[in-house]
Structures are given as structure tokens and as C-alpha cells.
Chains A and B, each alone.
Chain A
Amino acid sequence: MKRVRAEVLSTRKVGAYHSLTLVAPEIAEKARPGQFLAVAMPEGREFLLRRHFAIHQASRRGGWAGTLEIVVDPTGPGTEWLTGVRAHGSLEVIGPLGTAFAYPKRLTNCLLIAEGHGAASVYFLAQELLARHKRVDMVVGGETLDRVFKPIEGKRLSTTISILTADGTLGEAGPLMQAVPEMVERTSTEVVYAAARSRTLGDVAAFCRDRKLPAQVAVEERMGCGFGLCQTCVVPVARKDGSGYDHVRSCVDGPVFNPARIVWDRWLADEATTASAPGEGLPMVQSWPG
């Protein structure tokens, strides 16, 4: 983990998102899929906390060596400010933070599930799996067409891909899980990876438990610092001895978890009491701070 001032190499709009490429060789060298960056906000504003972004790309070789790419989903003052950052400006970042996805040793058929900006870390994971001669299939989606992150890139990285949107503006209409059972059958999936909103992850977890499929999920919970100090980004994780659960920090002990250890009823119950209006299908809660 390093704290560096990184030059912004480029910034561009990708659908509803903004992609930022940063020069940070110390971080890029060590970054693995699933890990994230904590980006400092400018001084003298009324928003203080760092914003946290999954690492979408980390180039160690070639002309782009030493660069990192993050995907910003502008939903609040801090992320809006980041979309306005120009090339050759600089950002103070800490990273790589958190746990990474683990690669399977024996098993080969991997199904990757990505919802919204979750695709940022999932595509990075796909590259790493392909480099290890694994088969990658994907289910990718979002609320609308512009919230499906780089679908062409998803196609390029996978043997087969299923794309879904809630409103049917791209691919099939419906929730991501609608396509998962058939995909698992068709591709003889052996391992499942997912980065999605918590409800979808809960469904993925239940499905994988029933099918006895090993899985890893990257969670999002609202964070204060990102490096383990503030104890706010916790997720309920079952104790190994089965004697209940503990609140575990998703910044240092996650964001990648074995979904079988997360107490989904507990976590989603917390979400239900605070995070959705009664009886209205409002859009997903941005659990990463805006």
C-alpha cells in the first residue's frame, strides 16, 4: 500500500461513467483485480472524505506501463468533481487497498457476473483469468443501456456473454440473475465471481450455495477512510466456529469475500431498514460514498 500523488493521464466519458487513467507505477505494479484506490478530495470544499474506486486496469508492461484506470460513477459532489478533473492534473491516492479475487488452481470454467460499475473490477479479473488459460463467460448488466459498462469490452474478454438491462434498452430485459442458471448449465461453470449491488450479490450467493459452486463476491459498503481506521464499512461475516457473526471491515478484510461466509439476511436487512423507500422500485443505492 502506497500513498502517491498521481498525474491524470486521461479522462473520458463512458456511458454514464467516467474513466480516469492515472500514472502511479508504485501502485500499478502491485494492483490486483478486486482491490481499490482511495482518492483524496480537494481542500477547501465542504466534502472531506476520500472516494473509493475499484481498480479497472493496472498496466505493468508496454507503452502504458505504470498506469492505473478507475471508473467513476458520478452520484454525489465528490464523484462529480472527479469527472471534471482534467488531464495533467493530479490526484492524491492511496492504494492498492483491500483483498483481491483469488484465481482457481485446478478449475477452469469461470462465470463472471458484473452489474453497473462492478464491471470495472470484473473486466480486470477476466484479463488475469485469461492470462492463466481459464475459460471466461460473463453475465453483464445495469439499469439502462448507458449503465452497462463497456459491453464490447465484455464481449471481447469472454467466450460467451449475456447482457441484460432492467428496462430492456440493451440485451435482454430483466434482472441479472435471470440469465445466470442457463449460463451456468451451458458453460459448465465451475467457479463464480461477482461484483454487483448487494441484493444481486445475495441472490448470487444463494444460487451458488444451492448448486455447491465456489464463488467470490466484491461487496460495496459505505466507507469512511478505506484503510481500516474508522470501522464504518463493515459487513456481517459468520465466525468460522459457527458461533454467530462479527462485523468485518470491507476495506481491509474485503471487499472480496466468500459469499458463503456473509450473513446475507443480516446485511440486507440492514439495507432494507435504511436504504430503500417503501414499495417503490427506486434505483440502486450507491453504497460507495458519492
Chain B
Amino acid sequence: MPALKRTLSVDLHGLVVPTPVMIASGCAGTGRELSGLVDVRKVGAVVSRSITFEPERGSPTPRIAESAAGVVWSTGLQNPGVDAFVAQELPRLAKGGTPVIVSISGGTLEDFVRLTGALQGRPEVSGLEINMSGRDLELGREVLGEHVDRATEVAGAVARMSLVPVFAKLPVHAPSLAEIARGAVRAGVTGLTIGAPPPALAVGVERLRPELGGVTGWLSGPAVKPIMLRSVFEVARAVPEVPVIASGGIRSGDDAVEAMLAGAWAVQVGTATLVDPAAPVAVAQGIARYLKQKGMASPTELRARLHIPAAYATAESTEAAE
């Protein structure tokens, strides 16, 4: 039997990453914090914190509180604005040669268009990730990405303009997520990140106050993994030819394998990086170990390999027909 040529590299329709493990948005710092703690060159890609067009000072403290197997947090999108980001952070993030995906966030269509323009043609940018968790200032909605009409509109505008692959990060908890995913894909995005964390509240009973200065925040960490898995599963079945990146509660190789079996092409590691800065590399090693054990050559062999009972598949198609 010829020796198996094993690789961790994955092609996300134009964005080729050396390993299928990325650092999630908001957990990679500004390009110097991780040096000495992890070899960033061994990370598949780094997603920047979410960048807005204008500088954003962020929400009052406290900004983080623990909950069972997770954290409730909100930074209020603190960032220096796209100009300062491009001048200072971006070159540092890209220095090691790791692909950099820039997360962009806004409240209006114009915000997203201007951000895409400002990042256009920057050689350090390997991809864009659209953060759709912000308020929709034009339609006065709480979360822009929860609605198929706007998610499609924003995704389409960014995808048409961008010269690099675009990933729409959809809210992991959105109702009719499959429909939103189809809309974003029709509008031209390269892939989908599933997903943005669900909104959350932490309460301090002693002080009769919310634990966060910004009152509500987002739930991240292992607590959200099962929700993420189901959403990845649903989206991957809705748009089977489209790269899906799983994000939510992944901290080990096994977690990543679970997400890939559910349909993910790659994964992002967020909260686990805050606890163990070397976690993204450990997750990749865990995937490699699993592949070796199963005699598989590449992570693509894991993709959507979950065995679904025939009855489930049939029931679903009947439901859809009704």
C-alpha cells in the first residue's frame, strides 16, 4: 500500500489555509500579544477583532463575567477604526505570514461598503468576515444578521466589491438560519461562519445589578458548542457546496472533528485561546491525530460524514414539501 500523503491544508474556495483552525474574531489581539505564547505561523488563519469605519471606544466595564462553561462578555466593539487598523494593526497581524481575515462591522449598508473599500487591495488581507451581530440602524432592528433581507443585502454588497474571499458570520441562534445562509450564498459570499454568539445576560444577585457595564453581552465558550453544532449541521445541509467555518465552544481536536462531521470545512477557536493561547495549535494537532487514527488523508474526508438515520432525512424532506 502506498504511503498516505496526509495534509491539514484546506481550500475554502480561494482561501487556502495551512490548517483548518483559525483564531476567532476578538481573540487574536493586535498582533503582538501572542508572541512567545504560541507560534502563530502554525495557526491556519487569524481573524481580526471587528473593525468599524470610525474608531469605537467600546462599552463600560466590567466587560466579562463567567457563567457555567462559558463567559458572558461585551467589549462594545472597541477598535481604533479602519484607518488606524490598516496603518498599525494589520501589518503586525500579517507579519508572520499567517493569513489574516479582517472582521468588519457596521450598522448601515454604507458602513460595510466603505469598510470594504478601505480594505480593498491591501495585500495583508486574505479574506473578509462580515460581523452581522450589530444593530441595523437603517431598519431599526436589534440584530442585522437575523433577517434574510438585510443579511443578503449586506453580504451581496461586500461580496460584489471585495477582491478577496468573503465570509458572512451569521448569528448561531438565528431562526430560519438555513434561509439566511442561502440568501447570503446567492448574494455571492464565498463561505459562512457559523456563528456569531447568542446574546446573553449575567446577573449579580448580591448587588442587584447586571454583571456587565453594558448590561447585556454575548455567550461564548463550551456552553454554546451543541447549539453551534446543530446550526453548522443545518447550514451545511442547506448549502452543501459552500465552505462553512464552525465557531462556538471549540477547544479540543475532538470538538473540531465533531464540527467537521456536522459539515464544517474549518473551525475557529475563540474563548479557548483566552484561556490557553496555544489552543489553536493543539486543536490542529488533535485533528491530525484523529485523521491518522482513522486512516484519513485530509480534513475534507471528515466533512459532513455524520451518519444520519434514513428516517430523519426522509422526515425532513416531507416537512419541506408540506
Q: Is the CB of B274 within 8 A of A225?
A: yes
Q: Is the CB of B210 within 8 A of A274?
A: yes
- Within the complex, the shortest CB–CB distance from A1 to chain B, in Å, comes to 6
Tell whether B71 is near chain A: CB-to-CB under 8 Å: yes
Identity of the chain A residue whose Cβ is nearest the Cβ of B214 in the assembled complex: A274
Q: A231-269 vs B: 1/0 string, CB under 8 Å?
A: 111110000000001110000100000000000000101
Q: Is the CB of B33 within 8 A of A274?
A: no
Q: Is the CB of A276 within 8 A of B66?
A: no
Q: Is the CB of B207 within 8 A of A229?
A: no
Which residues A187-239 have CB closer than 8 A to chain B? 221-225, 227-235
Q: Is the CB of A232 within 8 A of B33?
A: no
Tell whether A82 is near chain B: CB-to-CB under 8 Å: no
Considering the chains assembled together, what is the distance between the CA atoms of A46 and B69 in angstroms?
4
Q: Is the CB of A277 within 8 A of B64?
A: no
Q: Is the CB of B273 within 8 A of A229?
A: yes
Q: Is the CB of A222 within 8 A of B62?
A: yes
Tell whether A287 is near chain B: CB-to-CB under 8 Å: yes
Q: A25-47 vs B: 1/0 string, CB under 8 Å?
A: 00000000000000011000011
Known: A1-B37, A229-B27, A230-B26. A224 touches B78 (CB 8 A): no
Q: Is the CB of B206 within 8 A of A225?
A: no
Q: Is the CB of A274 within 8 A of B212?
A: yes
Residues of B within 8 A of A1 (CB): 36-37
- Within the complex, the shortest CB–CB distance from B223 to chain A, in Å, comes to 9
Q: Is the CB of B58 within 8 A of A228?
A: no
Residues of B within 8 A of A269 (CB): 60
Tell whether A91 is near chain B: CB-to-CB under 8 Å: no
Tell whether B221 is near chain A: CB-to-CB under 8 Å: yes
Q: How large is the interface on B (under 10, 10 to 19, 20 to 34, 35 or more residues)?
A: 35 or more
Residues of B within 8 A of A102 (CB): none
Q: Is the CB of B207 within 8 A of A223?
A: no
Considering the chains assembled together, what is the distance between the CA atoms of A47 and B69 in angstroms?
6
Q: B260-277 vs A: 1/0 string, CB under 8 Å?
A: 000000000001011111
Interface secondary structure of B, over-half rule: loop
Considering the chains assembled together, what is the distance between the CA atoms of A270 and B57 in angstroms?
14
Considering the chains assembled together, what is the distance between the CA atoms of A269 and B60 in angstroms?
9
Residues of B within 8 A of A223 (CB): 64
Residues of B within 8 A of A235 (CB): 61
Q: Is the CB of A247 within 8 A of B37?
A: no
Residue of A227, A228, A229, A233 with most chain B CB atoms under a 10 A cut-off: A229
Residues of B within 8 A of A48 (CB): 66, 69-71, 221-222, 271, 275
Which residues B288-321 have CB closer than 8 A to chain A? none
Known: A221-B61, A252-B33. A230 touches B27 (CB 8 A): yes
Considering the chains assembled together, what is the distance between the CA atoms of A9 and B60 in angstroms?
39
Tell whether B18 is near chain A: CB-to-CB under 8 Å: no
Tell whether B13 is near chain A: CB-to-CB under 8 Å: no
Residues of B within 8 A of A154 (CB): none
Which residues B214-264 have CB closer than 8 A to chain A? 221-222
Q: Is the CB of B61 within 8 A of A270?
A: yes
Known: A273-B213, A274-B213, A277-B206. A221 touches B33 (CB 8 A): no
Tell whether B28 is near chain A: CB-to-CB under 8 Å: yes
Q: Is the CB of A274 within 8 A of B28?
A: no
Q: Is the CB of B57 within 8 A of A224?
A: no
Tell whether A85 is near chain B: CB-to-CB under 8 Å: no
Q: Is the CB of A229 within 8 A of B33?
A: yes
Q: B182-211 vs A: 1/0 string, CB under 8 Å?
A: 000000000000000000000010111111
Known: A229-B28, A230-B26, A230-B64. A246 touches B207 (CB 8 A): no
Identity of the chain A residue whose Cβ is nearest the Cβ of B276 in the assembled complex: A40
Contact sample, A vs B, 15 pairs, CB 8 Å cutoff: A49-B64, A94-B37, A221-B61, A222-B64, A224-B71, A227-B29, A227-B37, A228-B33, A229-B29, A230-B73, A230-B274, A231-B78, A252-B33, A277-B209, A287-B62
Among all A-B residue pairs, the 8 with the closest Cβ atoms: A228-B33, A270-B60, A232-B63, A225-B274, A222-B62, A232-B64, A46-B68, A229-B29
A46-B68, A274-B207 are known contacts; what are 11 more A-B pairs with Cβ within 8 Å?
A1-B37, A49-B275, A222-B62, A224-B73, A227-B33, A247-B78, A270-B213, A274-B210, A274-B212, A282-B207, A289-B66
